[in-house]
Amino acid sequence: MSIHQIKVQPLTQKAFSQYGTCIDLPAEGDYELRSSDRFDFYPKLCTYTCDSNVFQIGISTLYERPFRTVNMERHYHTQELMVPLTNPIIIVFSKNKGMDYSEEPDIETAEAFLITPQQGVVVDTGVWHWTPMPVGGDSRIICSFAENTSATDVDVRKFPAGEVLEVLLG
């Protein structure tokens, strides 16, 4: 078995831009702010799309486990929104080189991001990623993508035989 280790990094728009969109409170003046004595509201931090124009929204409970994976997945027809509700999560990503169905995820270019409950991500279509890993105990997340994606638009691939990706905290 060969273990490829990567360090988790904080989620920022700049660091995450090759994989999709970081959802976070913007720097002052960057986005429209609607404000009153009852709320501050940023009405359009990002948008996301799918081929069918019908999204489903779900809640997933992620169980604490080792920060390792031997798999990655991608979707060809939808972006995917993930927002942690309770504990932080780590998500591993590897940029695809196109929409080539024969392409395999590249363990050498994988990156991991720590996403806090005050943040979220929209993963671009075709980007390799894996099930979020909860930090500090089980975590619940909101997950949204095109309707029936789980049944019709999931390409799961294993790393080469014996290859394991391990994420290091700190």
pLDDT tens digit sequence for 139-149: 999 999 999 99
Residues 145, 126: Cα–Cα separation, whole Å: 13
Below-70 pLDDT ranges, the chain: 28-29
Single pTM value for the model: 0.92
Q: The domain containing residue 81 runs over which residues?
A: 1-166
- pLDDT given for residue 32 in this prediction: 82
Kindly report the CATH number assigned to the domain that includes residue 84: 2.60.120.480
Annotate 48-88 with three-state secondary structure: CCECCCCEEEEEEEECCCCCEECEEEECCCECEEEEECCCC
| Number of domains within the chain | 1
